[in-house]
Structures are given as structure tokens and as C-alpha cells.
A and B are shown apart, each in its own frame.
Chain A
Amino acid sequence: MSAPCQWVRSVLAAWLSDELKPSTAEAVRRHLEKCESCRAHMELLRESWRLLDEVPPKSIPPAFTARMMARIVEEKDLSRFAARLRPHEQRRKVLASVAGIAAGLFLGMAVYGWTGLLTKPVSPVESEVSQHVSFLEDVDLLDEIAVIQAMDRPDLDPADALDGA
């Protein structure tokens, strides 16, 4: 394709829409007069553009404005409702946050206590002492004393001593 043809084809759409400067439009018109190929191209562009008219416009639905205004009323009601809801909503959010934090703290402390982390000794000596204290807590001291006393007295059966205690 020659350079003039390329140029003309690049501006043909604007030429068809009457969007070119008069001098440019005149140059295109002169080229089209003598160039059959560009003329054919222009016809195709024009006809395909015309085909777009084959799609009929939309018929306008009756009472659109009334329906639109009804929707605006709904919109206003919704905004009023949202505005009324907002303080309650905020209060509820604050309360929920506080309750959440409290529950989290309580749960954390419960887990901490249950795992024994609170009473767990930190040094080996404390650990040793703790074991002995636990042992002493578990032993029935009175039973222990009664058995020892029975052992000192050969006439007494340790089992009887336990019953007597």
C-alpha cells in the first residue's frame, strides 16, 4: 500500500465523522476520487457503521421517575436507619471488645494455673523442698506415730495400734 493510501486510511474514520480540518478533509476527498481501493475501503467503513443503526433503541419504560423516586425514599429510610443504628452499634462493639479481653485474660490465667506454672519452683533447692512438703502433706502423720509407738511396745500389735488411733 502506498504512503498516501496508508495516511488516508488512518484518517478515514474521522473524515466520515466530519471531524477533520477542512483542508485535510479536502485532501482526503481528492485522494478518494482517484483511488478505487481506498474508496472501497471507505464504503466498507461507512456501511459497517450504518449497520449499527439496525439495533433499535430501547423503548422507555413508563413511570420510571416514580419508581426512581420510590427508590430514593427507600435510600433515605435506609440512611436514617443506619444513622440511628450507629451509636448502638458502636456501644455494642465496645462492650464486645471489653468482654473479649476479659474472657481472654480469664482463660489465660486458668490455663496458666492449671498447668502449674504459677506454683512451679524455679530452683533445684526449692524443687527438693517442695517435693518433701508434698510428701508430708500426703502422709497421715497420726497413723505414722501410732505405728512407731506400737513397734516400741512388743505386746501391742501394730494393726491394733492403728485401730486405736
Chain B
Amino acid sequence: MAKAIAVAAGSYEQAGRRGAAADYDVSLMLRFQKGQELAFQELVERNHARVIGLVYRFISDASDAEDLAQEVFLRIYRARHTYKPTAKFSTWMFRITANVSLNALRSRANRKDDVSIDQVTDFGDGPRALPDHDTKMPDHDLHQAELEEKVREAVAELPEKQQVAVVLNKYEGMSYAEVADTIGCSTMAVKSLLARARDNLKDRLLLYIRTGRGRQRLT
């Protein structure tokens, strides 16, 4: 049994290496490892849009998303001496991205826990991220903004692993196997994670689905 697992792991790693060899980003990373700074610049240029986009799916804050994307590339920069091309570069990069984003979410949650009751009362729990209802915003935009907020909330309220699986599968278009590689679990586990995630999302967004195909305002 152990031998079978070892063989499977070996062939998996070989497959990873083969994938890595065909990966242009991996070759850039290897060139960077040999001291070519321009290769790193090209890596950033090629991948920053995906990284920023992905961070934004977790964080929902534009300025934080850019800062955190910089943090992702900084980690890649610092890891140049230890980097080994055993898998696709994007798998490694997205794993770092998910970790950085989740760390930021955790520290944000901790900061929220530290906020005093007075502060909570001051800032309220109302729709501060939503448009001001007194402004002359068309109804459609108002509904759309609220819908976006509700969808973001529904994703953000998922357990961490489900959230990562949803973001990678839905927004990055990764297959179950790719999600499994990125978050370091089996394809079966991803299948189960996404099944539960989709059930949770259905429950949380039920009212939008039933009242006019996601276009009605939740009251």
C-alpha cells in the first residue's frame, strides 16, 4: 500500500515536473534564480492582473488588493533561492495568493474583534459600503450595488477552505484537480468542499434567486 502511494506520488511529481518544464513562468523563475532580475519583472508583468483579481475576490477592497498583490510578489522574490520547479508556477503562485489573502482576512477579523462597543455603535452595522440612499442613484444601480454586496457577503461567510475552492473554481476557472493541487488536498475533498459551498451559497442567496432572478432587492 505504502509502495503504491509512493509510486503514485512519484508519478504525480514527475507529471508536475513535466508540467513545470513546459511552463514559461517556471523558466522565468529559473532565470531569475540565476540572477536575471528582468525575468522577475516579466513574471510580475505577466501575472499581476490574475493575482490582483484573485486577491480582490477574497478581500473586496481595491487598495488592499494591490498592497496584498505586492506582498504576494515579494514572497515570490524572497523565495527565489529555495524555489523548486515541481509544479506549475501558477499553482504555487495561487497558493501564496490564497495564503496572503486569508491571513489578511484573519487579521481583519481579529481587528474587528478588538473594536470596542463604542466604536461599533459609532460606525454602526448598516449598509456603509452601499450607496447613500439619499443620492439620486437610479434604482437599477442601487439594486445592483446591494446585490453585489450580498453576493460578496455570501462568499465571505463561507468557511475558509470552501471560500478558497469557490474563488479558484468559479473565478479562476480551475478544474477540481487544479484546485486540489493548489490547496493541497485530494480531488474528492474538493468535490465535497464545492458541493457544500454551493449548497451554502444557494441557502444564502435564496431570496435573490426566488424573487426575480437575482435582480430584486432584498428587504
Partner-B contacts on A (CB < 8 A): 10-14, 16-17, 19, 44-45, 47-52, 54-58, 60-61, 64-65, 67-69, 71-72, 75
For A10, A49, A56, A67, the residue with the greatest tally of chain B CB atoms inside 10 Å of its CB is A49
Option from B40, B69, B147 in Cβ contact (under 8 Å) with A64:
B69
What CA separation (Å) do A51 and B205 show in the bound complex? 8
Chain A CB within 8 A of B91 CB = no
Residues of A within 8 A of B191 (CB): 13-14, 19
Top 6 closest A-B pairs, CB basis? A58-B56, A13-B195, A48-B202, A13-B198, A48-B205, A47-B209
Residues of A within 8 A of B98 (CB): none
B176 near A19 with CB under 8 A, answer yes
What CA separation (Å) do A43 and B141 show in the bound complex? 26
A60 near B214 with CB under 8 A, answer no
Chain A at the B interface: SS class: helix
Give 5 CB contacts A-B under 8 Å. Answer: A13-B191, A19-B176, A44-B202, A44-B206, A64-B69
> With A17-B176, A71-B74 given, is the CB distance from A58 to B53 under 8 Å?
yes
Which A residue sits closest to B60, measured CB to CB?
A55
What CA separation (Å) do A19 and B171 show in the bound complex? 16
In the complex, besides A17-B176, A60-B53, A67-B70, 17 extra interface pairs with C-beta distance below 8 angstroms are A11-B195, A12-B198, A13-B197, A14-B176, A14-B191, A14-B194, A48-B201, A49-B170, A49-B201, A51-B201, A52-B151, A52-B170, A54-B151, A58-B53, A64-B69, A72-B40, A75-B78
Q: Mark the stretch among B3-11, B41-49, B100-108, B112-120 that contacts chain A.
A: B41-49
Chain A CB within 8 A of B27 CB = no
- Distance in angstroms from A32 CB to nearest chain B CB is 16
